Structure 1
Amino acid sequence: MDNFQTFRFQSHDFDEISASLSRWDQTYRQLSAGPFFGDVEYQGLTPPGTIGFGLPLTFTGESRYLNRPVSNGQLLIQQCGSEGDLIGSRNFKIQVLTVNEQRFLNKVASTTGGDSRQLLRNISTITLSPGVTETLRRKFQTLIHNAHHHFRHRQVADNIRLLAEDLLDSITDIVISGNFEQTKSCLQRQQQLVKKAEDFVWSYPVLPPRYDTMCANLGTSERSLRYAFKACTGMSAGTYLKAFRLNQVRSELKTRSPQSTRVQDVAFGWGFSHMGQFAADYKRLFGEPPSETLRRGYRFQSAVS
C-alpha cells in the first residue's frame, strides 16, 4: 500500500480536530451538552479519490450514520465523493481505513470478475458476524498500534504495509460476501430536507427558525419536517437547529478579537435575542461561557499564526 500515512491528534476542541484533518471535507458540530474531548487516529491514504471504511468500537446511547442507528458489528462505508453524515453519541470511538477508490474497485473486480461499481452502488453499511467483527477489530488495532509506535523505524515499515494490505484484503472479502444495507429513497429525501433546513438557517441567520416560515420556504409540511429531523438526527428540529446556531456562534467567536467583539452582537447575528437564555444554553452545550470561548479562541489563533 503506497503513500501510507499515520498521525495522532488529541484535543478538547472539535474544531481543532477538524483542522488537523485538513484534506478531509468535514464539519463537526456538538449536539449534546458538556465539555468535549476527542481523540482521532487516522490511518490510510489521504482524500480525495478514496473510499472509507469505519468500524465502530464503543459508544453509549444512540449513534447514527446516514440516518440509521449504528449497532455493534457494522462496517460503515463512505463512497468516494458522497457526503457522510455521522452523529456519534457519548464515548463514540471508531477506526477508519481510507484507500484509493480505483485500487479498491480493481481488487474487487479481480476477485469477482464482475462490475465492482455496481456491487458497491448505494451500500452504506454491512452487518458482520461477531467472529468477523472481532477479527477485523483486532487487525485494525494491530495496524494502528504498529503504525503509531514503530512507523519511524524503517526496518518495520514494510511489515506495517503488509498489515495494511491484510486489513484491506479482509475488508474486500467482507464487501464481496457481506450483508448489505442499501440507502432507501425515503431516508434520502428526509436527509435532503434536513440539509435544506440547515441551508435556510445559513441564508437567514438573524431570523430564529420558525416551523411555519421554514416549511413555507421549503415547500413541505410541519409534520414532514419533524419526522425528517427525528429520522436523521434522533432529535427534534427545534433542538437540532438551536445546537446548529450555537455551533455557528462558537465558530465565529473563536476567530474574533476580544477587544473588538461583543458576544451579544455575534449571538444576535445568529438569531439569539434573549442574552440570558442564550448564555445559559451556550454554557450547557459547550461547558463554558461564550466569553471564555472568545478569549480562548483568540489565544489559540494568535499562537498558531
Structure 2
Amino acid sequence: MDAHTLAGRDSNTRAAGDDAYSVVHLDTRDADDHAACLQHWNQRYDQLSAGTFTGRFDEFWFDNVQVFRERTNQVVHEIGTSWEGSRTIGVPVELDGTGWYCGEPCELDSIITLKGGEDLDYRTPRLHDIVAVTTDVAAFTDYAFRVEHRDVEAEIGKRRIIPATADQAATLRSFLLTVLASLEATPDLLRHPQMRKGLEQAIYASIVAAITPRDDTPRPATPCRTRQLIVDRAREYMRAHIDAPITVADLCTELRVSRRTLQYSFQDILNLNPVSFLRALRLNGVRRELKSADPASHQIADIAARWGFWHLSHFASDYRAMFGELPSDTLRQATPPTHA
C-alpha cells in the first residue's frame, strides 16, 4: 500500500520504506478530492448544501488495519464501495443532526458497518466527523473465533447499523480516538511488528466489545481443577516465551479457551485478570532491557514498542506504578554490557 498525494490538496503523507505502515494527513477543499482520500476505496461524494467545502482526513494503515477519521462541513451524499475482503466499523465523533446511512437514520451513538462489496449510500449531516476502522474480514473473524469464540460475521449479518448502547458507542469512539492520537504522536513506532500486533488485537477486542449484546447470563460453572489447569498451562507457556511480548490472544489460541474462560480462571486462581498479569510480565521485560541498555544509544519508546506497548503515556504511568520510578530513571542507572 502506498501513501498518496492528489493535486489540489494540502497534504502530509508518509509511507514506511518496508511498507509496514502508511500515514496520510490531508486537508481538502473539494468533495471529489475528499472522496479520493481513503486508500483502496472506490467512492464518489456529491456536495448537497451550499457553501465552501472544507474537510480533514487522517489515516494510519498497518498490517490488516486501516484506521481513519474524516471531517466535512457540508451535507454530502457518499456512494461507493470499500476494498474487497474488508469489514468497516465506524462511530460518529460529532454530528449537527441526523445522517441517513443505507436507508437508516445515523445518529451520534450509531455504530455503522460496511462489508467489502456492499454499496455505501450515506447522506451526511452538514457537520460530519467520524472515526472508523476498515480491516481484513478474515483476520478479524479469525480473531473473534479464536479469542472470543464468537462468529461476529453471523452476528452482524446484513445489518448496516449495529445495535449498541450509548456506553458501547462512547467506549469505542474514545478508544479509536486514543489510537489515532497515540499514532499521531509516535507514528515511527509502527515499524515494530510487536506493537502493530498488540494494537491490531486491541482494536479487534474493542470492536467485538462494541457489538456485544448485554450479557445477563450467569457465569458458567467450571471445575476448580480445570481453572487451575488453564492457569498452569498459561504460566508454562509464558515461561517458555519469557522474552516475547505475549498477548491474551496468544494464550487463548495456545490453550484453546475463550477470553472469558481465561479471565475467570486467572481471577479465581491468582486474583488477577490475565491482562494485568501479562502487562506485568511485559513491563518486567522492558525493565530488563532498560537495565542493560546503553543510555546514549537506546530510546525508551522503541524498547516499549518492542514489548507491545502502543500507548506511551499509559506505559510510563504503568511502569512507574509497578517499579516506583520512571523508565528514564531506570535507563539513566543502566549498566551497559561490556564487550571483550
Give the TM-score, by structure 1 length: 0.52
Distance 1:168 1:178, change over 3 A: farther
**The structure with more strand, counted as a fraction of residues:** 2
Q: How many angstroms apart in 2 are the aligned matches of 1:153 and 1:115? A: 32
How many residues of Structure 1 are paired with residues of Structure 2 in the alignment? 178
Judging changes above 3 Å, is the alpha-carbon distance between structure 1 residues 96 and 119 closer, same or farther for their aligned structure 2 residues? same
Distance 1:62 1:155, change over 3 A: closer
Q: For the structure 1 residues 78 and 135, does the alpha-carbon distance in structure 2 shift closer, same or farther, using more than 3 Å as the test?
A: same
Return closer, same or farther for 1:115/1:154 CA change in 2, 3 Å cut-off.
closer
Residues 163/81 of structure 1: CA separation in 2 closer, same or farther (3 Å cut) = same
Q: Distance in 1 between matches of 2:56 and 2:42?
A: 18
Gap change, CA 1:172 and 1:123, over 3 Å in 2? same
Separation in structure 1 between the aligned mates of residue 148 and residue 39 of structure 2, nearest angstrom: 35
In 2, distance between residues paired with 1:60 and 1:11?
Answer: 20
- Segments of structure 1 that go 5 or more residues without pairing to the other structure are 180-305
Q: Read off the aligned partner of 1:53 and give its amino acid letter.
A: I
- Please provide the CA RMSD for this pair: 2.7
What displacement does 1:125 show? 1.2
| Shift of residue 148, structure 1, vs aligned partner | 2.1
Question: 1:65, 1:86 within 8 Å by CA — same for their partners in 2?
Answer: yes
> Which structure shows the bigger proportion of residues in helix conformation?
1
The residue number in structure 2 matching 1:70 is 106
The equivalent of 1:105 in structure 2 is 141
* 1:77-96 paired onto structure 2 within 5 Å: 77-96=113-132
Counterpart of 2:168 (choices 101, 107, 132) is: 132
For the 8 Å contact 1:136–1:167, the answer to whether it is kept is no
Comparing both chains, which one has the higher relative contact order based on Cα–Cα distances under 8 Å and sequence gaps of 6 or more? 1
Contact conserved, 2:168 with 2:209, CA < 8 A, in 1?
A: no
Alpha-carbon distance in structure 2 between the residues aligned to 1:134 and 1:19: 28
- With 135-144 and 92-101 compared, the bigger mean Cα shift is at 135-144
Does structure 2 conserve the Cα–Cα contact (< 8 Å) formed by 1:52 and 1:78?
A: yes
Return 5+ residue gaps in structure 2 as ranges: 1-18, 67-82, 216-340
State the SS of the aligned residue for 2:211.
helix
* Contact 1:42/1:96, CA 8 A, preserved across alignment: no
On the 8 A contact 1:8/1:41 being kept in 2, the answer is yes
Return the letter of the residue paired with 1:16. D
Change (3 A) 1:157 1:17: farther
Describe the superposition over 1:134-154 as per-residue Cα deviations: whole angstroms up to 9, x where unpaired: 221221111111222311246
Q: Structure 1 residue 127: deviation in Å? A: 3.2
Call closer, same or farther: CA 1:78–1:70 in 2, change over 3 Å.
same
Q: Corresponding residue for 1:254?
A: none
Q: Which of 23, 29, 50 is the aligned partner of 2:40?
A: 23
User: Contact 1:58/1:91 (CA < 8 Å) preserved in 2?
Assistant: yes
1:78-129 deviation line (CA, Å, top 9, x unaligned): 0121111111112200001011111112223335646544323212112332
Q: Normalized against structure 2, the TM-score is what?
A: 0.47
Identity %: 20
The aligned residue for residue 35 of structure 1 is 52
**1:142–1:160 CA distance, 2 compared to 1 (3 A):** farther
2 CA distance for matches of 1:94 and 1:108? 24
Secondary structure of the residue that 1:17 maps to in structure 2? helix
Counterparts of 1:112 and 1:155, CA distance in 2: 28
SS in 2 for 1:131: helix
8 Å contact kept, 1:53–1:76: yes
CA distance in 1, matches of 2:204, 2:150: 19
Q: Report the Cα distance in structure 2 between the residues aligned to 1:28 and 1:154, rounded to whole angstroms.
A: 31
